[in-house]
Chains A and B, each alone.
Chain A
Amino acid sequence: EAQVTQNPRYLITVTGKKLTVTCSQNMNHEYMSWYRQDPGLGLRQIYYSMNVEVTDKGDVPEGYKVSRKEKRNFPLILESPSPNQTSLYFCASSSGGRRQFFGPGTRLTVL
């Protein structure tokens, strides 16, 4: 089954404790992206990747890092999480940018 998977689905952590949210897709898509969803703001792009080893900032990259060492994986790294990064995070992938397939989401709470 073609899908985008994210782990963990739920995470509660404390300020400053490094964490990684994994994202994997099995559709051989070149393009992957991370978004955060906050009430009243819709989805905002954090980072995106056009292909292996090619990444670029989205609209809200501050406090986040990404890497694209393999085509199928695109982890999101929070080196020192802060409470303003409490949000719902979505990973997405596509083969041409137009039709993006979204993962199920990761709800992160930073205390």
Chain B
Amino acid sequence: GQQLNQSPQSMFIQEGEDVSMNCTSSSIFNTWLWYKQDPGEGPVLLIALYKAGELTSNGRLTAQFGITRKDSFLNISASIPSDVGIYFCACLRIQGAQKLVFGQGTRLTINP
């Protein structure tokens, strides 16, 4: 069943504001991934995190793999209209290494 808790479920912000979302789990994972889904399309990988404590940036996006291996956050700085979409965290399970589990998603809406 669902193992990742992602929050918030939705965000309504003004263009230019910073965004922060996070994901927690009751289980330990060895890989955390952040995806973005644009309307009408499939998810696209934004950032992958492979080590506890790792902090990785991709342009205006920054994500961290929690030290306990049970959480991760994603920050978006200076939001722009094209940031609109649904953001998902996902983890690879330790057992059965090819099985991905996803969070519920954070729907981001930006007012220009």
Residue in B6, B31, B48, B99 whose CB lies within 8 Å of A45: B99
Say whether, besides A44-B102, A48-B98, A98 and B33 are in contact (CB < 8 Å).
yes
Q: How large is the interface on B (under 10, 10 to 19, 20 to 34, 35 or more residues)?
A: 20 to 34
Give the most central of B4, B98, B103: most A CB within 10 Å. Answer: B98
Complex Cα spacing A90 to B102, Å: 13
The answer to whether B43 and A41 have CB atoms under 8 Å apart is no
Residues of A within 8 A of B41 (CB): 104-105
Say whether, besides A43-B88, A45-B99, A50-B98, A98 and B31 are in contact (CB < 8 Å).
yes
Residue in B50, B96, B100 whose CB lies within 8 Å of A100: B100
1/0 per position for A76-93, CB-CB distance to B under 8 A?
000000000000001010
The answer to whether B98 and A99 have CB atoms under 8 Å apart is no
Smallest CB gap from B105: residue in A: A42
The answer to the question of A97 belonging to the interface, with a C-beta cut-off of 8 Å to chain B, is yes
Complex Cα spacing A59 to B91, Å: 14
Residue in B40, B48, B50, B102 whose CB lies within 8 Å of A42: B102
Residues of B within 8 A of A74 (CB): none
The answer to whether B2 and A102 have CB atoms under 8 Å apart is no
Say whether, besides A45-B99, A48-B99, A40 and B9 are in contact (CB < 8 Å).
yes
Say whether, besides A41-B2, A42-B103, A59-B1, A102 and B43 are in contact (CB < 8 Å).
yes
The answer to the question of B112 belonging to the interface, with a C-beta cut-off of 8 Å to chain A, is no
B residues apposed to A, CB below 8 Å = 1-2, 4, 6, 9, 31, 33, 40-45, 48, 50, 88, 90, 92, 96-105
A residues apposed to B, CB below 8 Å = 4, 31, 33, 35, 40-45, 48, 50, 56, 58-59, 90, 92, 97-100, 102-105
Q: A-B pairs with the 4 shortest C-beta distances?
A: A102-B42, A42-B102, A97-B98, A43-B102
